Amino acid sequence: MTTKKTRLRVIPLGGLDEIGKNMTVIEYGNDMVLIDAGIMFPDEAHPGVDLILPDYSYVVKRRDKLRGIIITHGHEDHTGALPYLLKDLGRPVPILGTKLTLGLIAGKLNEHKIKKPKLREITAGGKVSLGIFGFQFFAVNHSIPDGVAVFIKTPVGNILHTGDFKLDQTPIDGRVTDYAGIAKAGRQGISLLLSDSTNAESPGYPRTEATVGDSLRTLFAEADQRIIVASFSSHIHRVQQVCDAAVGCGRKVVVTGRSMVNNTKIARELGYLKIDEENIVDAYSMGNIPPEKVVVLSTGSQGEPLSALARMANGDHKTVRIEEGDTVVISATPVPGNEKAVSRVINKLAKAGAIVKHKGIADVHVSGHGASEELKLMLNLTKPKHFIPIHGETRHLHAHADLAFAVGVKEDNIFVMENGDVFELSESGGQLGTRVQAGVVYVDGLSVGDVGQVILRDRALLASDGIATIVIAVDAKTGKLVGEPEIVARGVVFADEGDSTLLADARARINKTLAKTAGEGATDHQVIQNAVRESLSQFLWERVRRRPMIIPVVMEV
């Protein structure tokens, strides 16, 4: 009989029911590896938060078992948690990735002052061993070069983790998906497939990346003045196409935005971005070139408030000021939750006189993730016994599960999981095990993990309804009010509008409440504060339908 100790455990700690913070544990006995270590960017529900990490406490508690961390590609949602994880592990751990992936990771670790990380380069088609596990890597296409799928040989069966992929037949760098290698792995037998679900709801096949280049060349040829293109800084294929289109129409490329400058520099040094030195111009030298001879390559495709494009839209960028007739191309799709931020930037650009082109009105972006027919092809190539859809919101995971069932995977062998769920695999089959701790860790400035839901709730409350502080002086012996309560408010309707009647009525309600507590003989500060808080909260809800944060301060005299 197979014991739990000999079961393989697959534990997603991030990447399920969300787009971001991808992290999966593969564990067998005394050996454990981690696939990806990503972050997720905050939205309006996370005021003041800079980054969101997966809760990787399960890994930290078992750090002595960790044999290595494999990174499938260089996007932030797969690499961004590495600096924080390495600090918490407190010991060097091998990090495996392809050349470009490691180049981007090295830059990130250097920013965090992590010295001498154990970076170990892998290649598509290559093989390595970590503990009891054997690994082989297959080339896959994505919106960043050098992505790989990971084939894992374990004592109880083979696993394939696809990473993020798209089956592009005409990739920009000529590096096609390794169909033969993946098919061969399928013939060897795959006990478990974990596959990218991002576009599982999208029918058919997505357009190829090369079609964006055609659109860019057309737009550039039609533009009379300066062109500004905003894209993900890690989308090196897109950056390459922007550079090719710019050079093709006789324009120089100006790079702005910290991550865009860093990533293009790394990609050029490693040979993944090809553009002659004479065609790249420093942003501070751009003023010497006629506007019709310039393409500005910028960050800010997600409407980030501090990004280069947002600063241009606000008119406070150091080197680029939007002029009437400039063409702005937003070559990306808003990540869920960023739609409003992107819309605000577009509106500001339009007000400044720019001609804005985005995915809604021009063919300036295609997804780097496979649609439903490509996902079915991956399933048919690999023919897995068990299937776990990963990398997607819940609806994407369920849609991918339906695709797996449609191509012949048994319904009982399809597992739609949540972060922290445990899939246990043995030679006799797979099943769900006992959940482990999982969740999120918020990065707020230099603070990591100190911000919780209560603080986020308070920040949201302050932003929406404001704050009111009530200073009350009471007799220390009797608990009776001495003088009038003083109300200091910020962001509360009676303070903003100067409504003296409402303010007077609020004081009257507080006086009535204090008279009641004094009549009951209450002298405990906590009792008085709670009574005042509840009374004023109810009053404001009745009168203005708002519940601001209320902080009563009781002073004894």
Active site amino acids: 196, 369
Beta bridge partners of 378: none
- Residue of 260, 256, 252 lying closest to 279 (CA atoms): 252
Which DSSP string corresponds to 288-331? GS-GGGEEEEES-TT--TTSHHHHHHHT--SS----TT-EEEE-
What is the phi/psi pair of residue 65, to 5°? -90, -15
53 contacts 21 by C-beta, under 8 angstroms: yes
Per-residue b or e along 277-312, where b marks 16 or more CB atoms closer than 10 Å to that residue's CB = eeebbebeebeeeebeebbbbbbbbbbbeebbbbbb
- Lookup result for tokens 């060349």: 217
Q: What are the b/e assignments for 390-416, b being 16+ CB within 10 Å? A: bbbbeebbbbbbebbeeeebeeebbbb
DSSP per residue over 122-133, as a string? Answer: --TT-EEEETTE
The set of residues, in sequence order, having a beta carbon less than 8 Å from that of 541 and lying 6+ positions away, is 547
> What span, in angstroms and rounded, lies between the C-alpha atoms of 119 and 267?
17
Please name the residues in contact with 328: beta carbons below 8 A apart, sequence gap of 6 or more: 227, 228, 229, 230, 309, 322, 349, 354, 355, 356, 357
Neighbours of 22 (CB within 10 A): 31
Single-letter amino acid code for the residue at 534: E
Q: How far is CA 152 from the centre of its chain?
A: 26
Residue type, 149: A
Pull the structure tokens for residue 343. Answer: 């819309």
Q: How far out from the chain centre does Cα 324 lie?
A: 34
Of 398, 386, 428, 421, nearest to 193 by C-alpha is 386
Q: What angle do CA 335, 341, 342 make, to 5 degrees?
A: 70
CA pair distance 265, 271, nearest whole angstrom: 10
Phi, psi (rounded to 5 degrees) for 130: -135, 110
For 112-223, where are the alpha helices, taking DSSP H only?
A: 179-188, 210-222
d(CA 259, CA 239): 13
CA dist list (Å): 245 to 147, 242, 267, 304: 24, 5, 18, 26
| Spatial strand order in the sheet of 192-196 | 127-130, 133-139, 148-154, 157-161, 192-196, 386-390
What gap in Å lies between CA 525 and CA 503, rounded to an integer? 24
* DSSP letter, residue 363: S
